[in-house]
Amino acid sequence: MEKRYLTCIGCPMGCALTVNLSGQEVVSVEGNTCKKGKIYGEQEVISPVRTVTTTVAVEGGKLPAVSVKTRADIPKEKIFDCVRALKGIRISAPVRMGQTILFNVAETGVDIIATKTVDAR
């Protein structure tokens, strides 16, 4: 049986989890103090997801860049693809908080939105 070792991020205790796998199936989770840890452990080995935050260059704005995020979580292995897809982009001011910057980033089905308002210069 394959074992994966993780730290639960559900609360400050940070329980050390051991997830026992048989192929793609989770057989059991050990080391968790509460139910949240079991759910986290299962999710994290089967399909880990993350919110990605970065910046995108702005043209003609009061600030040179605007902060952005994925509107929802994306698969963890797509983090770098997502950042790369945003590298070349320049967006012109004004930018509103919540505005879509890029649709369907890196084929994840998730959009990139601005997390700040940048007025035109």
Partner 1 sequence: MENYEIVVIGGGPAGLAAAISAKKSGMRKVLILERDRELGGILNQCIHNGFGLHTFKEELTGPEYAERFIRMAQEAEVEYRLNTMVMDISGDKKITALNKEEGLLEIQAEAVILAMGCRERSRGALNIPGYRPAGIFSAGTAQRLVNMEGYLPGREVVILGSGDIGLIMARRMTLEGANVKVVAELMPYSGGLKRNIVQCLDDFGIPLKLSHTVVDIKGKERVEGVTLAQVDEKGKPIPGTEEEYRCDTLLLSVGLIPENELSREMGVKLNPVTSGPQVSESLETSVDGVFACGNVLHVHDLVDFVSEEAEAAGRHAAEYIKAKREDRREPEAGSAQEQIPLETGEGVRYTVPSFVRPEYMEDSLKVRFRVGKVYRNCYVNVRFDEEQVIHKKRLYAAPGEMEELTLKKEQLAEFPQLKKITISMEEA
Which range in 20-28, 79-87, 104-112 contacts partner 1 by CB under 8 A?
79-87
> Phi-psi bin for 100: left (phi > 0), alpha (psi -120 to 50), beta?
beta
Of 96, 88, 89, nearest to 61 by C-alpha is 96
> Using the rule CB under 8 A, is 4 a contact of partner 1?
no
Cα–Cα distances in angstroms (integers) from residue 120 to residues 64, 71, 96, 109, 117, in the given order: 11, 24, 11, 30, 10
Task: Pick the closer one to ligand SF4 by CB: 49 or 85.
Answer: 49
Which listed residue (2, 22, 28, 34) binds ligand SF4 by CB under 6 A? 34
> Using the rule CB under 6 A, is 43 a contact of ligand SF4?
no
Which range in 32-40, 72-80, 99-107, 113-121 contacts ligand SF4 by CB under 6 A?
32-40
